Chain A
Amino acid sequence: METIGTLIIAKYNYWAVVVLIAIGLYAMIAKKNLVKKIIGMNIFQTAIILFYVSIGAKRGATLPIIEHGHGESTHMVHAADYINPLPHVLMLTAIVVSVATLGVALALAMRIYFHYGTLEEDEIQKKIIGDEPDKIDSSG
């Protein structure tokens, strides 16, 4: 029991990521409302972003801004004193991607709402079958 406990506590950031991914996937698969699905997608993306951000952190380290950095060639830089900025910078791009995805998703959801008058997937499915009775197929 103690080993499992330490495993969870020592790697709590990974567990947070796994739990968030599970929540996101659950919402995307199990929820019938399209906006809830989109929120699930966003939680899923945020979990990955959290993963990247957490791996850049170090215990006792500070912001990666080098004091006396200019012109002092003798000044030693210990990488261990600074958090790794690279994953954080990568996530700036990933956040932009996820915001753009969210925007496109919401725009599509609006179009769906204007067309079907609802965002509930089962009601939309009923309307589709009602509209095109000869085009029902297994794939939905």
Chain B
Amino acid sequence: MTTRVGVVTFPGSLDDRDAQRAVRLAGAEPVALWHRDKDLHQVDAVVLPGGFSYGDYLRCGAISRFSPVMDTIIEQAKLGMPVLGICNGFQVLCESHLLPGALTRNDSLHFICRDQKLRIENASTAWTGDYTQGQEIVVPLKNGEGRFVADEHVLDALEAEGRIVARYLDVNPNGSYRDIAGISNAAGNVVGLMPHPEHAIEPLTGPTTEGLGFFTSVLKQLVSA
């Protein structure tokens, strides 16, 4: 049976189609999920895509977090369903308290759009199993509020528990504490990532194809589960 990976569309989501395409290229069946529908339509995993859901009103991800689909996703994520939040999706996961910390305005105040080098720090989450520990990849990054902040205790705990999934290399584009580009929950099924692996899956449109690993990783994880 084909693995079904849901991609949520909120009003203002931008990268839902790219995420669906990444899911398809990885070999799974993408399933479009609508923010007002509580039903996850038997998906095995969920991607929360990038964009500007609800126009970033109030705070990025703050309103999406209370959408009907998120009630079910939060419930299922706590039961172990893999969830990947990219960019705005990462913000939604922090606002949902599925991940600690928060994403705030870039320290430069500029919207940053560049090809970004990352180091995969934890290759054992549901979304990074196809990478090797310490592997360096380049994927696009585009955000205005991508600066990961958390208090020192939380940062120390994330480091100690191996929950920093990816770090910025060469340049810290937004002032994120400890160069954090992505983190996971304690179980490793929920991952939030500020850069965009779904834009680095084909040579025609991406700087590399090194982003595809996030989507192939979850397939293997689900097949072996």
Q: Do A and B form a real pair?
A: no
